[in-house]
Structure 1
Amino acid sequence: MKLPGIALADWRAQGQSFSYQGHAIRYWTAGEGAPLLLLHGFPTASWDWHYLWAPLAARYRLIACDMLGFGDSAKPRGHDYRLLEQADIQQALLQHLGVEQPVHVLAHDYGDSVAQELLARHEDGHFAMASCVFLNGGLFPETHRPALIQKLLLSPFGALVGRRFNRRKLAANFARIFGPETQPAESEVDDFWRLITQNDGQGVMHRLIRYLPERAQQRERWLVAMQRTQVPLRVIDGAVDPISGVHMVARYRELIADADTVLLDDIGHYPQVEAPERVLKHYLEFRARIAKRTAVIDT
């Protein structure tokens, strides 16, 4: 049985805001203990984590924000949205909250790229990361299979495509990328759509999508960081995702030594929504293994 979630209205009521370079960023916190930073994907928002929020908050100090251009955060027109800036925003949020100790990261999709940048900064001595778990995302540009809407948003007609993107098209895209037995309910699609359209979000989709070429630009730097790091990493991946499913995990195993990967059969691109109880199980196992290793080192 799926974990109980949080209604969107209740989720929004729990949010707080801080200012990043004049832009209002909406964020959420809960729980106590080691900080766990949750990074959402494109084109949705931090509400993606609502099924996992309570069980994780019972164990860790959770921190999540709607990134610039997403959800309930500011969506400035004409802005040059960059993954590197989104990583800056995460660090600014942590500073705003007074977090100084190493941070665990759980990321999905677009958030995977932000996590890769934070990992690279960790390797450069500019961020302290304790561990990182990636859910479905384009960790390697060569394995990413963008949806048609993503290709169209990147085209010269991207602004028009974004303006014409509607709830029906969102539902059709979700139907293709969710698992066949774990399709979103109509009410869930409605709520995802509310977050996308908040602050006229369709008007910036063609700018947000520029993260795809930015991933290619940063590939080597991010890959080297993943290959060299001593930070514990795990991939938990919905296997039937046509964008970054089993084929992405195969490439991960080729490139990352002693790759720690978990494949979720019959699950698509949004495992934290489709099978949150399974994601929770594998995430907690990962954290327990880290704790055991740390205890052995300390003794």
Structure 2
Amino acid sequence: MDDELERWKADGAHFDYLGFTVFYRKAGTGPNLLLVHGYPFSSWDWAAIWPGLTERFTVIAPDMLGMGFSDKPVDYEYSVHDHADMHEALLEHLGIRSCHLIAHDIGVSVAQELLARHDGNEQSTAPFRIDSITWLNGGLFNEVYRPRLVQTLLSKTPLGDVVARYWRVLMPGVLMNAAVRELFGPDTKPSNESLEKFRQVLEYNNGKRVTHKVGRFVRDRYHHRNRWVRAMRRTRVPMRLIDGPYDPNSGQHMADRYIDIIPDPDVVLLAPTIGHWPQIEDPNGVLTHFLRHIDNIGKPEPMNQ
């Protein structure tokens, strides 16, 4: 494995989630900040902004089941709700009663579910307060989300099960690399070295067996769209969307929909050439606009014990 990934993994910890092992990173001091990563990679997606975040926050970044360095069970029903359960269990495990959130890609769906539970007193573990949410690129509104063809084929058709068995033949590295590169902006394409790291994270613990199953979270976006959007429209939790507008999945069109639907929307559009992974493509921009969001909030009221 790449040395940088090895160091990332070595600096992490693990906790037991209902008999499965979940990897997470925890570092820094200050208010708690939970990072909810995207599909199909891992907490390593946050590496470029990690030093800046840990200067001001106690940062917690797990790998969801089926991804990264966490367990990847084959006979498992992956879902947004289960991912939300895991994040709540991790916060309880760490004794955390309040936190800020940054969410990306599938993580925005997980954070939407966490917000709906938070505001509806439906949390699955010890209650915790969400102090703010920062959304990055992701399918906040399913009606304007534009998944790539390969994602649709793997997650919504029987082809996913076939590809999982014969991955090296039906989905060679060149096709996977092309699918990843397509989501980056024209000036921020990942290097071959970065693509190799993505591949190693994806394949860790034979992860390609379950990538298509994890990708079925797109179905949850159809089923729970109204519940999640209702929570966003009604919440008093401060929210900001930081969007890479070049993203073909959830770029400018997703930001426009956010402005149309969310009351008093707080939206920051990055440079026109930033794509789906803003925390990788423009880490300074994401860090700057996130910290401004936090600074604009002020101190929350103490949580009742």
For 2:273 and 2:190, how far apart are their aligned partners in 1? 14
Q: Distance in 2 between matches of 1:130 and 1:166?
A: 43
The one-letter amino acid paired with 1:28 is: R
2:269 aligned residue (259, 263, 270)? 263
Cα shift readout 1:188-234 (whole Å, capped 9, x = no counterpart)? 11111101001111111121111001111111110110000000000
How does 1:1-299 map onto structure 2 within 5 Å?
A: 7-100=4-97, 102-125=98-121, 126=123, 127-153=128-154, 154-162=156-164, 163=167, 164-264=170-270, 265-291=272-298
Distance 1:113 1:190 in 2: 27
User: Offset of 1:161 from its aligned partner?
Assistant: 2.6
Contact 1:109–1:135, Cα closer than 8 Å, also in 2: yes
Contact 1:123 1:225 in 2 (8 A): yes
Local SS of the residue matching 1:51: coil
Does the CA contact (< 8 Å) of 2:131 and 2:300 recur in 1?
no
SS in 2 for 1:131: strand
Flag structure 2 segments of 5+ consecutive residues without an equivalent.
none
Worse-superposed segment, 40-49 or 123-132: 123-132
Give secondary structure in 1 for the equivalent of 2:87.
Answer: helix
Distance 2:63 2:87 in 1: 10
Matched residue count: 288
Shift in Å, 1:80? 0.5
TM-score (norm 1): 0.94
Shift of 1:281: 0.6
What TM-score, normalized by structure 2, do the two folds share?
Answer: 0.92
Contact 1:104/1:132, CA 8 A, preserved across alignment: yes
Measured in 1, the distance between the counterparts of 2:63 and 2:113 equals 17
Inter-partner Cα distance in structure 2 for 1:224 and 1:150: 27
Give the match's secondary structure for 2:95: coil
RMSD of aligned Cα (Å): 1.3
1:129-169 Cα distance to aligned partner (Å, 9 max, x none): 11000100000110110111111112111112342334322
